[in-house]
Amino acid sequence: MLFPLKFKPKESYHEAPRNFGARRDHGNRKHAGCDLYAAVETPIMAVEDGVVLEAAPFYLGSWAVVVDHTSFVVRYGEVSKNIPSGVRPGQKVLRGQIIAHVGHLAKINMSMLHFEMYQGTGTGPLTNVRNRPYMRRSDLLDPTPYLDAATLDAGGLGAMGETPLFAGFRDGSNQLRPWVVPFF
């Protein structure tokens, strides 16, 4: 999987309030994704080949693009409403293709990519306010190990322009098991 930004944010998505499971709404719900802080209009790339399922309004004036990447579904949230042409429901996208840009969250003056992952086995809308504590569909995944194992497209470094952040593998249970690869 490719990291959705061309860089790893300075602020860790492993720590609150950016991490999966962080408290929201005074503890009434949990954070359903990882927040990757970035400047407004930072390009967001498809992490794998896939098909766009939805591009629609999301949160505080931002939009979301939902892509079925075959082995998982990603909601790229809190993106700009100016979705690139060719990124429409039913359209194919390629790994590394710019599918959105980081948007601005009205009222709180912040910008980030809100990255949610799903197994792709559930049905219905991704947001389900009755399904606590995350208020999301039942096949919600913690994206943290997937982001940790993603390769970083650093614009020409290494094979195919990618530098691994971490390496991992999928076993027969389709579980990603990340392990750190040292770089010298």
Mean pLDDT of the chain: 87
How far apart CA 82 and CA 103 sit, in angstroms, is 9
Per-residue pLDDT tens digits for 48-82: 999 999 999 999 999 999 999 999 999 999 999 99
pLDDT at 103 (0 to 100): 96
Domains of the chain, by residue range, sit at 23-141
Amino acid at 16: A
Looking at the domain 23-141, which fold is it?
A: Glucose Permease (Domain IIA) (2.70.70)
How many other C-beta atoms are found inside a 10 Å radius of the C-beta of residue 66? 21
| Cβ 98 vs Cβ 45: under 8 Å | yes
How far apart CA 33 and CA 140 sit, in angstroms, is 9
Per-residue pLDDT tens digits for 25-54: 888 899 999 999 999 999 999 999 999 999
How far apart CA 108 and CA 172 sit, in angstroms, is 43
